[in-house]
Amino acid sequence: MKDSDSIDPKALRRAFSCFATGVTVVTTRNRAGGPIGLTMNSFTSVSLDPPLILFSLGKKSEQYEDFMAADEFGVNVLCEEQVGLSGRFSTPGDKSFGDIPFELWKTSAPIIPGALAAFDCRIDQRVDAGDHILFICRVLHTAVVSEAAPLLFHRSSYVRLEPQVDA
């Protein structure tokens, strides 16, 4: 019997979901060169020197082949008003931009205007991790673009940041 045999996947998913996160759209180019994006909350800062971030892609994603073939990625940290983009880029099926505007910084990865901050990145290493692949990327350019309220995700729902109360 493996150690993990006693872990119920539903219980594990529920426990994972207690960890409140921001929400990003990770963008890249598909194999035809078109801009695509995928909603991800697995974004994590990794290292200041060198500047590294990571995100984790499920192997069952329809975008798996395109993300594995790509080298350049944009991580766009969403604000509350961009909740529609989170829905758009997490709905199974087409992940192309359509008429959603984007900018280019240093790489070919689409950068979404109005996001709180963005990281324009090149792949450093992919690490196989169970049913996901960790994408560890070097940040080539970044900027804080907006001071708006962040979009947050907690227990499988979008939530708002409460204004801080002084003690």
Ligand X SMILES: Cc1cc2nc3c(=O)[nH]c(=O)nc-3n(C[C@H](O)[C@H](O)[C@H](O)COP(=O)(O)O)c2cc1C
Give residues in contact with ligand X (CB under 6 A): 23, 38-42, 55-58, 61-63, 86, 90, 92, 95, 153
User: CB within 8 A of 8, min separation 6: which ones?
Assistant: none
* CB-CB contact of 39 with 86 (8 Å): yes
Residues β-bridged to residue 167? none
Closest CB to ligand X among residues 59, 106: 59
Q: State how far the Cα of 30 lies from the Cα of 63, in Å rounded to an integer.
A: 8
Q: State how far the Cα of 29 lies from the Cα of 142, in Å rounded to an integer.
A: 19
Question: Rounded to the nearest whole angstrom, what is the least distance from the CB of residue 95 to ligand X in the complex?
Answer: 6
Closest CB to ligand X among residues 55, 73: 55
Question: Rounded to the nearest whole angstrom, what is the least distance from the CB of residue 49 to ligand X in the complex?
Answer: 25
Closest CB to ligand X among residues 57, 137: 57
* CB-CB contact of 95 with 110 (8 Å): no
Residue 79 tokens, joined: 């604000």
Question: Rounded to the nearest whole angstrom, what is the least distance from the CB of residue 68 to ligand X in the complex?
Answer: 12
Furthest-apart CA atoms within the chain: distance in Å: 54
Closest CB to ligand X among residues 17, 108: 17
Which of the 8 DSSP states describes residue 67? H
* CB-CB contact of 74 with 94 (8 Å): no
Closest CB to ligand X among residues 30, 56: 56
